[in-house]
Chains A and B, each alone.
Chain A
Amino acid sequence: MGELSVLDRTGDTKIMWDSAQDAEVDAARATFDKLKKAGYLAYSVNKKGDKDEVIKKFDPDAERIIMAPAMVGG
């Protein structure tokens, strides 16, 4: 199962998908694309949390994706 965590006011909202289920993959991809268009940054992270990378496109084989709003100067 893949897991998309979107940082938001609830802490994060999780969207799960089974890469063998097209409908679930499509739903996760749609959320990913919508947030990317809104300027969110996306990182693919392994479940263990010790390996992560920036991604530009939705990866249905990712273990975990974290999406965060774009950074602004404080």
Chain B
Amino acid sequence: MATLFNDGFDTSNSTAWVSWNDQWQTTATMTYTTTTNATTADTTWATWTGVDTTGTACDYTWTQWVSVPCGGTVTYGTAGPQLSAEEIAAEQARIREAADRRQAERLEAVRKAKALLASLLDEKQREQLERQRFFEFVSQTGRRMRIKQGYSRNVDELGEDGKRIRTLCAHPGNYELVEEDHMVAQLLALRHQEEAFLRVANVS
């Protein structure tokens, strides 16, 4: 059996920590049994911090925890419900499934954004991107530009010799977009709104 501590929030700290101590004092290895009679959470943890001689990180952890006032955004957790091994396994499976789903959604977003970007490039640019992870084009005002795989600090202005003159950093103000969507927006902006792009871009 195990206990989860973060799924309940009890403003009655003394109850919370007495329960916690009751649950864990027989299994924990750190020395805190002298605190089990404390009647408030602050007393409990302040005392624990003071008496713990075996932990290496507890002082900092508990001092910080105790310093958060009751009702703050970090709240002392009560001892949660007892979970069976099966319930824990089910919860872990649920978390894994959610992570897998997010990963699949992200991969699908990348697939769609790649297709959209490819639809705006000619054959040579698509090949460049595939082989070298960048593509080159001519901007609205005739500058030779290179957009590299990425979302920021990935736009270079090139000289006639193909060497970098400067790097321009501007991208759509939505950090949830995948890289290829940033590259689509950068390409279209430099083709049609170069002045506006340069106005906001950081140059290096």
Q: Interface code B11-49, partner A: CB below 8 Å = 1, 0 otherwise?
A: 000000000000000000000000000000000000000
A-contact bits for B127-166, CB 8 A (1 contact / 0 none) = 0000000000000000000000000110000000000000
- Residue total for B at the interface (Cβ-Cβ under 8 A): 38
With A and B bound together, what is the CA distance between A45 and B196 in angstroms?
20
Chain A residue contacts of B200, Cβ below 8 A: 71-73
The minimal Cβ–Cβ distance linking B163 to chain A, given in whole angstroms, is: 22
Check: B108 CB closer than 8 A to any chain A CB. yes
Query: Does more than half of chain A's interface fall in helix, strand or loop, or is it mixed?
Result: strand
- Interface membership of chain B positions 107-136, coded 1 if the CB is closer than 8 angstroms to chain A and 0 otherwise: 011111100100111100000000000000
Chain A residue contacts of B169, Cβ below 8 A? 73-74
Q: Which of A5, A41, A69, A70 has the most CB of B within 10 A?
A: A69
Judge whether B112 and A12 touch: CB under 8 Å: yes
Give the interface size class of chain A. 20 to 34
Q: Does B176 contact A (CB under 8 A)?
A: yes
Partner of B171, one of A52, A66, A71: A71
Closest to A64 in B: B119
Is the beta-carbon distance between A71 and B192 smaller than 8 angstroms? no
**Residues of the A chain whose Cβ atoms lie less than 8 Å from the Cβ of B174:** 7-9, 69
Residue B88, interface by CB 8 Å: no
Q: Which residues of B contact A (CB under 8 A)?
A: 105, 108-113, 116, 119-122, 152-153, 169-174, 176-178, 180-181, 184-186, 188-189, 191-193, 196-197, 200-202
A residues sitting closer than 8 Å to B (CB atoms) are 5, 7-12, 41, 43, 45, 49-50, 52-54, 66, 68-74
Known: A7-B185, A54-B192, A66-B116. 9 other contacts (CB 8 A): A9-B174, A11-B111, A11-B113, A52-B120, A52-B192, A54-B193, A70-B172, A72-B171, A73-B202
